[in-house]
Amino acid sequence: MTETFYDVMRRQGITRRSFLKFCSLTAASLGLGPAFAPKIAHAMETKPRIPVLWLHGLECTCCSESFIRSAHPLAKDVILSMISLDYDDTIMAAAGHQAEAIIDETIEKYDGNYILACEGNPPLNQEGMSCIIAGKPYLDQLHKAANHCKAIISWGSCASWGCVQAARPNPTRATPIHKVPGLAPKPIIKVPGCPPIAEVMTAVITYILTFERFPELDRQGRPKMFYSQRIHDKCYRRPHFDAGQFVESFDDEGARKGYCLYKVGCKGPTTYNACSTVRWNGGLSFPIQSGHPCFGCSEDGFWDKGSFYDRLTDVHGFGIEADADRIGATAATVVGGAAIAHAAVSAVKRARQKGGES
Amino acid sequence: MASKHLEEAVYVYEAPVRLWHWVNAGSIFTLAVTGYLIGSPPPSVGGEASASFVFGWIRYLHFAAAYLLAVGLLLRIYWAFVGNHHARQIFLPPVWRGSFWRELVHEIKWYAMIARQPLKYSGHNPLATLVMHVMFVWGIVFMIFTGFALYGEGTGMGSWQHNLFSSWIIPLFGQSQDVHTWHHLGLWWFACFVIIHVYAAVREDIMSRQSIMSSMFSGWRTFRDGGSSDAVD
């Protein structure tokens, strides 16, 4: 039998005390009651580690970079021991044919029982030639791994929505995992963000291995515990928003006083993520706290919503790009002008008719 | 033109319809102004955040007016069932009738100054019916649905606003920002509607020799010379 999580942790010199601490911290970060800490501990002591294949398509590796910086659940070496990370080309020791052989081995050994973690997405144009892994299109690798997996985790905005490589005009037709045609119909959990928050990533994995199922998902397949509220709903600058105190430009008095960044384009009110509660780098800060508006990296198609510094999104399809106010004001002016012109002509006609009658 | 002065009158707009009209006028005006300010907030205020609630009030007025509008529409739909036949007109334009389209063409000719005389109607003329149906009824339904979808994001998952509206409308449009953009375009849609609506009402009042404006206060439509084509029923 494969080692349990606890075995691996102990082997790596983690004391039982830190192990239990980890369990209670994880229970807390998942929003579970104190009673769940022993359950997590029990699961980790008894359950074999879940094998994970972590595949990389078109991506920038920011998800991996974020993941290895998770502060609680524990340090990075323990996190990497929690799961049996069989394949992750960025951080694995093996390379070349040796590395690729591991995929086949895992598929054979744990057929239908491993988790497929997708970082990045496959390009569909030119038969997937824009992303080649070990001489073959990533698309092939993805199909093969998905056919035999238990469930799929879509890490980050690339796998969840498409992100920058799928931004207009999307020349390679980069496609998020759940939209890949012909992909085996496996349950998919989306963990969007560019990158997702480290603690969110590790918490999702911990939940899956503790309860052997996905956490509760919203309609779009995101775990509700981290993506059910907007940045705006828990933003510590929210009182300035309600008061009507805004940063007008980046170096003004309001910016120094930490006013709301709504007017410089903050996408907090339209972005579902946990940044304003979990924060980044071990809870140190998050974009708004450092004085920059949120630009909505965990939302679908955030690259195509106009400037990062504008609340009004550009509307395409009018020949030129224009925002709602420009389109609307133009339409209202045209309609108003037409009404005035029509009124003038009507008046002339009426006057002429009256003249004819008398 | 005949010089005899005939004032025929028909009772068209029942009290609930008139009340609905003016509640709508008030709430749409409030919604448009506050809605524009939500998109482009007024200049920043100073002092302690706890001392002012400027943006909070703007949003509060927007939401309050929106509830009024939504409840009003529900009552109005109820009245469409129990009221007189004019109460159903803007909800069900008789597009299946050939005469509707023929008279619509005549009405367009009248506005293009080709036809010399307008046909007279106790209720809306076919062009007005169509504009009210498409621009107003569908416009208001669109704004109420997208509006509640955005509102439900604030009340949160599990709230009835979120369950009924946000949960399916937000993904339908893509994401929250897209719903914001469409809802914002809706503001300008209604700005255009108000211009057309007010202009046409004033013009018809003068040119078609029948009461339009005062009818929405009294409920009675009077014809300054001769009756309407459908005034019999």
* pLDDT tens for chain A, residues 1 to 358: 467 778 877 887 888 898 888 888 878 877 788 888 888 888 878 877 778 889 999 999 999 888 888 776 554 554 556 677 778 887 777 888 888 888 899 999 888 889 999 999 999 999 899 999 888 999 999 999 999 999 999 999 999 999 999 998 999 999 999 999 999 999 999 999 999 998 898 888 888 877 888 999 998 999 999 999 999 999 999 999 999 999 999 999 999 999 999 999 999 999 999 999 999 988 899 999 999 999 999 999 999 888 899 888 777 666 667 788 888 888 999 999 999 998 988 888 888 877 655 4
Per the model's pLDDT, the better-predicted residue between B43 and A73 turns out to be: B43
Instruction: Please give the C-alpha separations between residue A330 and each of A84, A334, B33, B92, B132, in angstroms, as whole numbers.
Output: 59, 6, 18, 31, 22
- Residue A271 phi, psi (nearest 5): -120, 125
Across-strand partners of A94?
none
Predicted pLDDT of residue B4:
54
Instruction: Give, in degrees to the nearest 5, the angle at Cα B182 between B177 and B187.
Output: 125
pLDDT at B210 over 90: no
Please check whether residue B163 lies inside any domain of the structure. Answer: yes
> Would you state the pLDDT for residue A78?
47
* Mean pLDDT of the B125-151 span: 95
CB atoms within 10 A of CB B72: 18
- Mean predicted lDDT score pLDDT of chain B: 89
Nearest alpha-carbon partner for A275 in A235, A246, A306, A216: A235
From B208's Cα to the closest Cα of chain A, the distance in A is: 11
Q: How confident is the model at residue B1 (pLDDT cuts 50, 70, 90)?
A: very low
Position B78 in a domain:
yes
Q: Are A313 and B46 in contact (CB < 8 Å)?
A: no
User: How many Cβ pairs within 8 Å bridge chains A and B?
Assistant: 137
Give the pLDDT confidence score for residue B60 in this predicted structure.
97
> Is B177:A270 a contact under the CB 8 Å cutoff?
yes
pLDDT value of position B204 = 85
Residue B208 lies in a domain: yes
Q: Identify which has the larger pLDDT, B4 or B145.
A: B145
- Residue A56, chain B, CB below 8 Å: the answer is no
Model-level pTM? 0.87
Please report the pLDDT score of residue A82 as a whole number. 65
Is the Cβ–Cβ distance between A106 and A53 less than 8 Å?
Answer: yes
Nearest CA in chain B to A332: B192
**B231: pLDDT confidence band, cut at 50, 70 and 90?**
very low
With 90 as the cut, is the pLDDT of residue B155 above it?
A: yes
CB contact under 8 A, B188 and A245: no
**What is the rounded CA–CA span in Å between residue B26 and residue B118?**
31
Query: Any residues with CB less than 8 A from the CB of A296 and at least 6 apart, and which?
Result: A267, A270, A271, A302, A305, B177
Q: What percent of chain B has pLDDT over 70?
A: 93
C-alpha–C-alpha distance, residues A237 and A16, integer Å: 40
Domain hosting B196: range is 15-44+57-223
Residue A311, min C-alpha distance to chain B (Å): 7
Q: Are the CB atoms for B203 and A346 separated by under 8 Å?
A: yes
CB-CB under 8 Å, B46 with A335: no
- Specify if B51 maps to a domain: no
Q: Does A333 touch chain B (CB under 8 A)?
A: no
| Count of structural domains within chain B | 1
pLDDT, residue A249, reads 93
The answer to whether B55 contacts A244, with C-beta atoms less than 8 Å apart, is yes
Q: Is residue B106 part of a domain?
A: yes
d(CA B187, CA A328): 8
Which of B34, B38, B44, B159 should one mutate to test binding to chain A, selecting the residue with the greatest count of A CBs within 10 A? B44
Task: Please report residues of A whose CB lies closer than 8 A to that of B146.
Answer: none
**What's residue A185's pLDDT?**
92
Query: Which span out of A66-75, A306-315, B112-121, B147-156 was modeled with the highest average pLDDT?
Result: B147-156
Residues from chain B that touch A245, judged by Cβ atoms under 8 A, are 44-46, 49, 52
* Chain A residue at shortest CA distance from B152: A229
Q: What is the 3-state secondary structure (H, E, C) of chain A?
A: CCCEHHHHHHHCCCCHHHHHHHHHHHHHHCCCCCCHHHHHHHHHHHCECCEEEEEECECCCHHHHHHCCCCCCCCHHHHHHHCEEEEECCCCCCCHHHHHHHHHHHHHHCCCCCEEEEECECECHHHHCCCEECCEEHHHHHHHHHHHCCEEEEEHHHHHCCCHHHCCCCCCCECCHHHCCCCCCCCEEEECCCCCCHHHHHHHHHHHHHHCCCCCECCCCCEHHHHCCEHHHHCCCHHHHHHCCECCCCCCHHHHHCCECHHHCCCHHHCECCHHHHCECCCCECHHHHCCCCCCCCCCCHHHCCCCCCCCCEEEEECEEEEHHHHHHHHHHHHHHHHHHHHHHHHHHHHHHHHHHC
* pLDDT value of position B28: 97
Inside any domain, residue B4:
no
Q: Which residues pair with B11 in a beta bridge?
A: B220
**Taking CB atoms and an 8 Å cutoff, what residues of chain B touch A301?**
174-175
Tell me: pLDDT of B189 over 60.
yes
Residue ranges of A 105-134 with Cβ closer than 8 A to chain B: none
Q: Does A358 touch chain B (CB under 8 A)?
A: no
d(CA A305, CA A313): 5
Q: Is residue B233 part of a domain?
A: no
pLDDT at A353: 77
Q: Which of A315, A214, A241, A230 is nearest to A269 (CA)?
A: A230
Token couple for A140: 């092939």
Structure tokens belonging to residue B122: 């106790």
Segment B68-84 mean pLDDT: 95
Contact predicate A104/A54, CB 8 Å:
no
In chain A, which among 14-53 make CB contacts under 8 A with chain B? none
The answer to whether the CB of A186 falls within 8 A of the CB of A150 is: yes
- C-alpha closest to that of B55 among B72, B71, B38: B38
In a domain, B95, yes or no: yes
Residue A356, pLDDT score:
59
Look-up: residue for tokens 């005034």? B231
The CATH number covering residue B195 comes to 1.20.950.20
Shortest Cα–Cα distance, B76 to chain A (Å): 28
A267/B188 Cβ within 8 A: no
Asked if the C-beta of A168 comes within 8 angstroms of chain B's C-beta atoms, the answer is: no
**Rounded CA separation B116/B229 (Å):** 16
Supply the pLDDT for residue A305. 87
Is residue A343 within 8 angstroms of chain B, CB to CB?
yes
Strands A51-56 and A115-119: parallel
- A118 vs chain B: nearest CA distance in angstroms? 22
pLDDT of A123: 96
Neighboring chain B residues of A339 at a CB cutoff of 8 Å: 195-196, 199
Segment B203-213 shows an average pLDDT of: 83
Q: CB–CB of B189 and A327 under 8 A?
A: no
pLDDT score of B38: 95
Separation between Cα atoms, residue B215 and residue A309, nearest integer Å: 49
Contact B56 A267 (CB under 8 A): no
For B88, B204, B210, the CA distances from B215, given in Å and listed in that order, are: 17, 12, 9
